[in-house]
Amino acid sequence: MIQWRDMELFRGIDLNDSCVLSWEVEPTQLVFELDVSVWPESQFYRTPKPNEYTCYRTARLIFRGYEKISGLHAMSDVRPTVDLDNTVDYGNIDALSQEEKMIRVYGDFGEVEIQGGNFDLEFDEI
């Protein structure tokens, strides 16, 4: 089993410090909208804003070509957190691992198992 911290895709990314903004299952993909905690080791790092202790950037964690998804809660069933600045999020990604053809992603959104397919992290342009 490979943990997210050992995946090249997440080098310089801290999923445990990243916030889940939303998620949506589409016919061909599952998309998590994230506010990603990015550190200098990442190619996606930028100088942090004055009120940030590291760089935060909006990105999508996209799972494509899957055969089956189980354990994902509906957004309406998950209680969001409202921060002091009135931003809303659904917690963090507590764990992400891959074992052969199974990807597991855990957080307030559920204990999600994704069979088959692949995934990528796509950042918004600045």
Domain ranges of the chain: 2-77+90-123
CB atoms within 10 A of CB 74: 10
Per-residue pLDDT tens digits for 36-83: 999 999 999 999 999 888 999 999 999 999 999 999 999 999 999 998
**Secondary structure of residue 37 in the 3-state scheme:** strand
Asked whether 62 and 24 are in contact (CB, 8 A), the reply is: no
Q: Is the pTM of this model over 0.85?
A: yes
